[in-house]
Structure 1
Amino acid sequence: MTDQVMVPSKMPKLKLLVLTAGAMFMVIACSLLLADRASAHGWVENSRSDLCYDKVNKNCGPVMYEPWSIEGRGDFPEIGVPDGQIAGGGGAFPALDEQTQDRWTKIDMKGGPHTFRWDMVANHSTNTWDYYITRKGWDPNSPLKREDLELFCRYEDHGALPPMKVYNDCFIPNDREGYYVIVAVWDIFDTVNAFYQVIDVNLTIDPSQPTVPAPGFPGDPDRFGDIPQWVSIRPYLEGEVVLHKGKVWKARWWTRGQEPGTHEVWELIGDDPGSPTDPTDPTNPTDPTDPGHPTHPTDPTDPGDHGNHYPAWDASKVYTNEIVSHNGQLWQAQWWTQGQEPGTTGQWGPWQPVNP
């Protein structure tokens, strides 16, 4: 009788190797996706989504598992997310956009100084931290809109990486009581997106605090001039204008860390327009302009001609995030682009309209 030796087929081993490799690939891919999803996310303590996460707010949808992921288009309110979708980051979490007087748990808060805290899953280069509050007389039973909001606090980070916990000192308007909504917007520096958080508050007036604080209070959004101060850590693109040591400078090309006045990348434009006129040389007070002949009031500079403040689009120029004027409309580049005419690239193209 001949002994038979059973030779195992190689196919099962091959299949096993393929299956094993496929499984490993899926694990790695999922890990990368989750890591990317977790990057640059954060949320505000006691926000609507935070209370969903803590199961205080009910029927919130998937945001109860990821209150840090409410991300939408940045540059709010000029661009940003649509009206009616502000709380949910542009439709990503529609349950958050439900708005009635009694829908959400409210946090007790007084007018006056208040510190907002952001908790980061992972930080990201930051443009601004903005805080808005609903106006007196807003309708709490209507979807949240831009026209409902007024800016009361701002911090600028100029592209810096924030710590894992961010604290912003603000002054809550001390002239209203009852239910109000605060909208916090973390605007990212090196993408076109921002993270949105809303806080439902039951406000009371604090008689020990002023109704309106003195200018320059912590977070005062009016403390910034029309021309920003030069910041060493911030990158600047060609054409950007800054203030430094009482002078106005314009970048000739991309630059970072090169101080105006010490490097040829900066072109001197002139003196700070906000500086007061020399009080020792006033206009002759004995020879005023004749008050009977004012400048003709029917011929002002057209306030709607916003294109005068921005350069015209140039087909030969590279754009990354600049605003340009083209065919009577302002446009902002969403990413690197050259030769693609604004208004012809469609909804998902590199140019998006800007409404001043």
Structure 2
Amino acid sequence: MEVAVIGAGVFGAWTALLLGRAGHQATLIDRREPANEQSSSAGESRVMRSAYGPDEIYSAMARRSLQLWTSFFREENCPECFRKTGVLWIAPSTEASVEQARKIFERLGIAYDWAVAKTIEQRYPQFSLQHDSVGIFEPDAGAMRAERSVQAVVAAAIREGVRYEMAEIRAPVLNHSRLDSVEASDGRRFSADQFVFACGSWLPKLFSALGEVIRPTRQDLFYFAVPNGLDFFGPDALPIWIDQTEANIAYGFPNLGKGLKMGFHRLGPPFDPDEPRVLSGREEIAEAAGYLARRFPLLQNARLKATQVCHYENTPNGDFLIDTHPQTRNVWLVGGGSGHGFKHGPAVAEYVLDVIAGAGAREFRFSLESKQGDLGRRVL
């Protein structure tokens, strides 16, 4: 089977790699190099975690993906691609999803520790927490080097026979039940039996019907300097944290070389991935600095080193979109990472291969049908 995969981010890269390993002829197409600075898969780091509250489907996918990522990094001799810092999820003691996550972890055999605020502060004195906070700590979770990881997957795919083409694919004309080829802006055509469009925030630009299904948003990231001589904020002393104790969910990474990275896991303003990226404003910077000062007293006057603009490609409910186009049965739409998709790249690719081959059950939550209307995001 010949398959054209359009988009060399984490979903597309893993799909192409697994297609090649399964004996298919795969062509991976992107208008730029893999994990380029404009893509959803760009940037220094991503969180690898399994805690999803009541959403066992994503906990199971994360566990599977961690297995595949770990095996891949070992094969590629890329130990720097994943740093096992652990991930600490902090929430109010009344948050029901914490207990739901614990039950799922026990059912799936995922290692974790549970602690109250006082115990967390004793273990990690960098934190200043609200007294009624609790935390779930995943010791096997950590930080993924995003760009480096995707580039390694693409390099492995090419080495194993996948063809990589740099081309800007035009929106396909879907007049029939099957698509025979796609056309690039330079006139080249690429034929295949199946087409996988894993184009992130560009999906609505290629398929107008996805205008209300994939909604790109701007997301601001901040890098703060840590005090000289303090090892408190390095990856050996501080885990990645996800803080659900305030109105806006905050998250952050220990200093992996560029400073303490943090952001807010919420939907930002609408975003056009082809427009110039304006740097973060004073209000956004002040909000981030204020949060950091509350949660880490030693960083009360931390210097801002840099800001970065990335983007989420959100579905109405936060679930992934992995489905055929309603008009054309050999066109697959793969996206809607919704700010939590990167870690799942390998498991998403396995699912894509199964459904293309007709070998696996289709998950309704990933369907186009499940995303009609303003459903309200519910995936953490």
The normalised TM-score by structure 2 is: 0.24
> Which structure: larger Rg?
1
Q: Tell which has more relative contact order, 1 or 2 (C-alpha 8 A, sep 6+).
A: 2
Identify the structure with the greater helix proportion.
Answer: 2
